[in-house]
Amino acid sequence: MSEVALHAALSWTVLGLAVPTFLVLRFVSAPYGRHARAGWGPTLPSRIGWIAMEAVAFVGFALVFALGPGRADLVPVLLASMWLVHYGHRAFVFPFRLRASGKRIPLAIVAMGALFNTLNAYLNGRWLSAFGEYTVAWLRDPRFILGVTLFVTGFAINVWADQVLIRLRAPGESGYKIPRGGLYERVSCPNYLGELMEWTGFALACWSLPALAFAVYTAANLVPRALTHHAWYRQRFPDYPRERKAIVPFVL
């Protein structure tokens, strides 16, 4: 099998895996953060877990992208920058902002996250600098313009929303409060909404199978978690705002 055929088969596999992932996560919440529980094997400090899980998406993508013949072409470089800005922040800034004293994450979750991120980094990095074909005319295509706009807006929402949550805790605290203000008046998880907008925008801007697979897989991962978070808030806080939705304002 040629590498191009293998790459396509793996991209279809990620897309197909979105269905069982969604179904499983509707019944079993990933055991980290507020849903952490015993019985998932050895654990790591949360901060280390986040760095280990996400750094592979940054480093792996950068390496694969740098090996492709299109590594210096304008459009691939712009699309790659979107990925690297997101994962540079997720791997090397976000973990150091967390107020995660005493919090741990199962090694199994870190390993699964790192495995997925490695595969995803290969699929998207390889596409952008080797298998995709982008000319500078793509910069004027509405899919590119809309995709980049959606990505940038989603990134801003994601970083803002995570920061609101992080600031709910004083240093050393580990409990939960009701987040308020801005998009939090509409949904329980604007950070997940922002993340979903980012990868939907990236998929539009790349117009590729691996980017589409990643966006769909992200939805399969984050929509069930947002629904679980939302139900948890309602159960935990009797005064939780009734009009708030889980992840999509006015809808879901």
Compute the Cα dihedral for 98, 104, 110, 113 and give only its sign. negative
The minimum distance between CB 100 and ligand NDP, in angstroms, equals 5
- Rounded distance, CA 4 to CA 21, Å? 26
Kindly tell me which residue out of 127, 195, 209, 247 binds ligand NDP, with binding defined by CB under 6 A.
195
Within 37-96, which residues bind ligand NDP (CB under 6 A)? none
Query: What is the closest distance, in whole angstroms, from the C-beta atom of residue 141 to ligand NDP in the complex?
Result: 25
Q: Segment near ligand NDP (CB under 6 A), from 75-83, 124-132, 187-195, 240-248?
A: 187-195
Residues numbered 102-161 forming contacts with ligand NDP, rule: CB under 6 A: 103, 158
Written as one string, the DSSP assignment of 11-78 is HHHHHHHHHHHHHHHHHS--SSGGG--SSS--EEEHHHHHHHHHHHHHHHHHHHHHHSTTTT-HHHHH
Nearer to ligand NDP, 169 or 234 (CB): 169
Q: Is 164 in the site for ligand NDP (CB under 6 A)?
A: no
Q: Cα-flanking dihedrals φ and ψ of residue 26, to 5°? A: -70, -25
Give the start-end residues of each E strand in 65-148: 104-106
All residues at 6 or more sequence positions from 127 whose CB lies less than 8 Å from its CB, including other chains: 7, 206, 208, 209, 210, 211
- Comparing CB distances to ligand NDP, the nearer of 68 and 179 is 179
Least spacing, CB of residue 180 vs ligand NDP, in Å: 10
**Angle at the Cα of 190 from the Cα atoms of 172 and 145, rounded to 5 degrees:** 130
Q: Which stretch binds ligand NDP (CB under 6 A): 77-85, 191-199, 205-213, 234-242?
A: 191-199
User: Based on CB atoms, which residue is closest to ligand NDP, 73 or 162?
Assistant: 162
DSSP code of residue 169: S
Which residues in this chain contact ligand NDP in the complex, by CB under 6 A?
A: 33-34, 98, 100, 103, 158, 162, 165-166, 168-169, 176-177, 179, 191-192, 195, 218, 221-222
